[in-house]
Amino acid sequence: MRLFSLLFISLALCSTSASALTKINGAGATFPYPIYSKWFSEYQKINKDVQFNYQSIGSGGGIRQVLKETVDFGATDAPMLEKEMAKAKSPITHIPTVLGAVTVAYNLPEVSGDLKLDAKTLVNIFLGTITKWNHKDIAILNPDLKLPAKDILPVYRADGSGTTNIFTDYMSAVSKDFKDKVGVGKAVSWPIGIGGKGNEGVTNMVKQTPGSIGYIELAYALNNNLKTVAIKNKSGKFVSPTIEGISASAAKTDLASQGFKGSIVNADGDDAYPISAFTYILLPTKTNNVQLEEVKKFLVWALTKGQSFTKELHYAPLPANLAKQLLEVVKK
C-alpha cells in the first residue's frame, strides 16, 4: 500500500510538472535564426518550464503568421508596413533584438585575393548589365586580382524575405535605376539570376556554384567559409562585413524616435558597413495571455544576458542605450 501511495504521488508530481510546461510558438526570419536558436537553448537551461518552437520560414511568413495569430511571436528583418499593421487584430510591437549584416558572398575558386565592389558595380551585376567577372568595371576596382572570363550568376531569395528587404533597401538607396526597375521589398522581381529558399538556400547555391554571387546574412557566410565582398561605403572606404562595421552603422541612429523600427543601410561613418540592419521580434500585445508574458520574460533576458552571445555568432549587440529603452517597453 505504501509503495502504491508513493508511486501515485510520483506520477501526480510528474503530471503536474508536465502540465506546467508552457510552449511558445514563433516563426519568421532566417536572418537571426542562428542567434535565436542559441538563445532558446540557453534560456531553457535556466527556465525549464518554457519550450520554444521557432520556424525559420522567412520574414514574410513570420508577418503572415502573426497577423493570422497562429504563433505567439513573429520575427522579421523588414519592419511591418502600415498596411500590414492595419490588418492586425491587436497592436503589434517591434522589438529590435540584435544587429546583423547582409553580406555579398561569391564563389570564385580561381581568385585568391579579396574582391572589392562599389555600389554602382554591385547594382549593375544584379540588374544584369555586368555579366562577366572580368568586366572592366570590376577589374578597375580590383587591379591586383586576376579575374576570370566567367559568367556571373546572381542568386537571390525566392521566398518573402527580410534579407531581400535589407539588400534592396540598400540598392535602392544608392541607385535610382535600381529603385525604379526593382525597388524595395521582401519579394521583388529580379531581372536576372536564380532563387534559393531562405538564407540556407542561397548559401548552398552559392557554395555549390562557381561564378555565383548572392546576398546572405553574415553568420551563414562565415559558417560556410564563403568569401565576402568588401563594399565601398558612403565615406568612400571599402569595408568588409565585421561586428565593428555593423555597430558603426548603428552608432548615430535614434531608433526610439522612429517607433523602434528603421533603416541603417548606407549609414554615415568611415567604418560603417553599408548593408547592416536591425532584426525584430514582433510582439502581439494581447492581454491576459500566458504565452505573451513568457515571451516578455524571455525578451528581458535576451536584451540583457542574451546580448553576450551575439559576437560569437557573428551578430552585433544592441547599443546599450537602446537596450535600456527596449527593456522599459517590454516590461510595460
147-167 per-position pLDDT tens digit: 999 999 999 999 989 999 999
CA–CA gap between residue 143 and residue 146 (Å, rounded): 8
In a domain, 26, yes or no: yes
CA–CA gap between residue 118 and residue 178 (Å, rounded): 14
Are 119 and 221 in a shared domain?
yes
In a domain, 226, yes or no: yes
Q: Check if the beta carbon of residue 60 is closer than 8 Å to that of residue 185.
A: no
Are 206 and 221 in a shared domain?
yes
CA–CA gap between residue 6 and residue 2 (Å, rounded): 6
Backbone angles phi, psi at 311, to 5 degrees: -65, -35
Are 174 and 253 in a shared domain?
yes
In a domain, 169, yes or no: yes
Q: Check if the beta carbon of residue 275 is closer than 8 Å to that of residue 265.
A: yes
Are 32 and 92 in a shared domain?
yes
Q: Check if the beta carbon of residue 78 is closer than 8 Å to that of residue 35.
A: no
The model carries a pTM of 0.89
Average per-residue pLDDT for the chain:
93
What confidence score (pLDDT) does residue 286 get? 75
In a domain, 172, yes or no: yes
Are 252 and 164 in a shared domain?
yes
For residue 79, how far is the Cα from the chain centroid? 12
Are 82 and 106 in a shared domain?
no
According to DSSP, residue 81 is labeled: P
Are 114 and 254 in a shared domain?
yes
Are 111 and 197 in a shared domain?
yes
Backbone angles phi, psi at 262, to 5 degrees: 180, 170
Q: Which amino acid would we find at residue 141? A: L
DSSP 15-72: HHHHHTPEEEEEEE-STTHHHHHHHHHHHHHH-TTEEEEEEE--HHHHHHHHHHT-SS
According to DSSP, residue 132 is labeled: B
Are 204 and 254 in a shared domain?
yes
- Here the CATH number for the domain that contains residue 56 is 3.40.190.10
CA–CA gap between residue 197 and residue 59 (Å, rounded): 12
315 vs 3, more confident:
315
The pLDDT tens digits of the residues spanning 5-32 come to 333 334 344 444 445 799 999 999 999 9
Q: Which of 226, 258, 290 is the last residue of a domain?
A: 258
What confidence score (pLDDT) does residue 265 get? 98
In a domain, 267, yes or no: no
CA–CA gap between residue 292 and residue 281 (Å, rounded): 12
The pLDDT tens digits of the residues spanning 283-319 come to 998 766 899 999 999 999 999 999 999 999 999 999 9
Are 163 and 181 in a shared domain?
yes
Q: Which of 229, 258, 287 is the last residue of a domain?
A: 258
What's the domain range around 209? 102-258
